[in-house]
Structure 1
Amino acid sequence: MRFLRTLLFLFLCASSFACAANKDYVITIETSHGNIVAVLFDDTPEHKSNFIKLAEAGRFDSTEFQRVIKNFMVQGGDVFTKENLPAQEWPTLPAEIRPNHYHKKGMIAAARQGDGINPQRRSSGSQFYIVIGKVYEELELTTDMAALQKAFMKYMELGSQAELKKQYTRLYNEQKYDSLTTILLSKREELEKSLNVKLTKDFTAEQIEAYTTVGGTPHLDKEYTVFGEVIQGLEVADAISNLPTQRDRPVEPVFMKVTVDKMSRKKIEKEYGYTYADEK
């Protein structure tokens, strides 16, 4: 009898664990422009746990999307300023920068201080941003523009490239920067062969597909912790990103209220059309 009770206990424990593993947290960010719904990633546990704790405690409520840049991102959740906590006491989180999470439009990432004073790239303990970005042409996306510019300048100094240098100077003086970019990109392959340099960036096929269709901010990859994704209401974040601003702050404040609900992953997939990474 004791053996049977032990088996039953172990079965119930296993069942409870399985049920818990099959559930997830759904984050809802309520604003006057509509609701933004998101999930947070399991492989960034410090960020996921911290965000949920802040939300469940109501600490995000009445914070703002206080930094808004069109075609870039919307940032908010400044809990510690709202709570009058001295800046030197603001908690931070260890970086959880994962190669499988990149800055596709709709991703949620943690704000942080710059490398100069934060070489470990620790995240803000509360502030986050939603990626907006833009859609890229593949050639522009996969080119190391800084390296290309440097190589191009060197190439123009060759006696055989006098006409190219003249064209570049004219367009620069006329401030036709888009035309300059087009010229630089058109010369990438030629420069790589002539100067024996690498002028490309390494992206996976998945990243290229995302950045050339949905869009995003690829230059932030490997720099900030991406820890969640919007699964409904991305148009709300778009609307906020297009608001009139003064010094990147919306002229009319955009306050938020953040709530957390736990539901089965199957229900999340059914209601929001979201597919978990381990099921893709």
Structure 2
Amino acid sequence: MHTYILTIVLLLFTSSSFAQRHRLAFHTEFGVFKVFLYDFTPAHRDLFLRAIETDVYKDALFNRIIENFVVQGGEHDIDIEKREAIDPEKKKPRLAPEFDARAYHKLGALGAGRDNNAAKASFLNQIYFVVGKPISDAELTALEQKKGIIYTEQQRNSYLTNGGQPRLDYDFTVFGEVYEGLEVLLDISKVKTDTADFPLKQIHFYVEEIAHAK
């Protein structure tokens, strides 16, 4: 099993990934997994780094878990809606999307959550990781035609070999990916949840930056 996961990580972690400067460690009771942030999605990268500096993710929760789909953490949709509903100025702060052909919803991708806003803008303090599901060649081809996407050979191989969530591409911003400890994330994705996808036991995490190459 561990050999299989290592193979997946090696397939995901391409040579271009080494150029990304910011690397993070997510600490959980299940273990540690490591992530790098994409420099080609700078607004989301910098927002997340500021959130770490201001302790937004010092004692956060993975609060929505759907096996074969995503592990979501940070501020929950329900809490965001409640907070914004009582705001006298009715502000709904969001971050404009950053779609890049190099950022896609492969296994281990880090994305920014959002609501149904037409601009596809991201919540400020909600993230998710793709744990995905198997994808067929026919499904990918249909999505390309529907969304006007042309996947590279490498991207197609990643989806077909390891799965993911390509239907989210160009609808949610992807701004990083797991490069070590993928098995930890997959273990978290299998915990028992209630009918609203809340884990039956709270899963805390905190994030720290472990590398910053200038």
What TM-score, normalized by structure 2, do the two folds share? 0.79
Is the 1:143–1:201 Cα contact (8 Å) retained in structure 2?
no
Equivalent-residue separation in structure 2 for 1:77 and 1:213 (angstroms) = 30
Is 2:164 aligned against 1:248? no
Q: Deviations over 1:158-182 (max 9, x none)?
A: xxxxxxxxxxxxxxxxxxxxxxxxx
Match of 2:96 in 1: 94
In structure 2, relative to structure 1, the CA distance for the partners of 1:102 and 1:110 (3 Å cut) is: same
How much does 1:135 deviate?
A: 2.2
Could you tell me which amino acid in structure 2 is paired with residue 53 of structure 1? R
Match of 2:178 in 1: 230
Is 2:25 aligned against 1:28? yes
Is the 1:92–1:122 Cα contact (8 Å) retained in structure 2?
yes
How much does 1:75 deviate?
A: 0.4
Could you tell me which amino acid in structure 2 is paired with residue 73 of structure 1? V
Could you tell me which amino acid in structure 2 is paired with residue 234 of structure 1? L
How much does 1:69 deviate?
A: 0.4
How much does 1:202 deviate?
A: 4.3
What TM-score, normalized by structure 1, do the two folds share? 0.61
Match of 1:218 in 2: 166
Is the 1:63–1:82 Cα contact (8 Å) retained in structure 2?
no
1:245 aligned counterpart, secondary structure: coil
Is the 1:36–1:233 Cα contact (8 Å) retained in structure 2?
yes
Q: Deviations over 1:230-278 (max 9, x none)?
A: 111111111111000012010001011111123448xxxxxxxxxxxxx
Match of 2:122 in 1: 123
In structure 2, relative to structure 1, the CA distance for the partners of 1:53 and 1:113 (3 Å cut) is: same
Identity of aligned residues (%): 33
How much does 1:56 deviate?
A: 1.8
Match of 2:37 in 1: 40
Equivalent-residue separation in structure 1 for 2:40 and 2:79 (angstroms) = 29
Match of 1:207 in 2: 155
Equivalent-residue separation in structure 1 for 2:149 and 2:191 (angstroms) = 33
How much does 1:50 deviate?
A: 0.7
- Cα RMSD of the aligned pairs, angstroms, is 2.9
Could you tell me which amino acid in structure 2 is paired with residue 204 of structure 1? T
Unaligned 5+ runs, structure 2: 1-18, 85-89
